[in-house]
Amino acid sequence: MEEVFKNPLFGILITTMGFLLGVWLQKKFKNFQLNPLLNPVLIGTLFCYCILNIFGISYEDYSQGGNFLASFVLPATAVLGLSIYRQRKILKEQFIPVFLGCLVGSLVSISSAFLLGKVFNLNDKVIYSILPKSVTTAIGVDLSAQLGGNRSITILAIMVCGMMGAIFHPFIIKFLKLKDKVAIGAAFGTSSHAVGTTKALEMGEVEGAISGVSIGVAGICTVIIALFL
């Protein structure tokens, strides 16, 4: 069995199975009140975690296949360009509000992470690792490295932030009775990057397109703000 676990195809298989399980559960309980909790990424992560622990598989063995799937992050993010192109008219009209929203959101994200890190007496390496938690992995990991952070902590922070955004944003939107599609999309993209954007796309193409743009704008804003740290 050890040879099977070390095969890159094994990591790809269980990751795919976990995600498909999440998709199935989300569709199965579509009308369930707590449906946002059944996020395919969250379900897939928990599924992989359980399999690795039950069979005593090391992360190094799993990552041989898992890292192959991770290489598709950039192409998958680029696919959002189609929705952005379709909504280009709205984007032209609303670009300034979206830009300002992303700028303020990035400032709040970085400053809150920095201040909370100081409050809980975290060392600088950990603080710099979690600062880019709200931007896409492709930007966050490189930015963390430049700041002197830890790559693994950054990836975990980005993953958790994205999943929490995808899970809790629908509840927050409903609670605050938000109706503006542009505001909703900007909130998703700025605070929970590509994972949140997948949820925004479920809510509507305008929300998804604005969220896709916000990923890039928030990433640029975060990099610029980080230069002053």
At residue 205, φ and ψ (nearest 5 deg) are -70, -35
Q: 176 pLDDT exceeds 70?
A: yes
pLDDT digits (tens, 9 = 90+) for 125-166: 999 999 999 888 878 888 898 888 998 899 889 988 988 888
pLDDT higher at 116 or 7: 116
Distance of CA 139 to the CA centre of its chain: 12
How many Cα atoms within 13 Å fall on the side-chain side of residue 112?
Answer: 9
Model-level pTM? 0.76
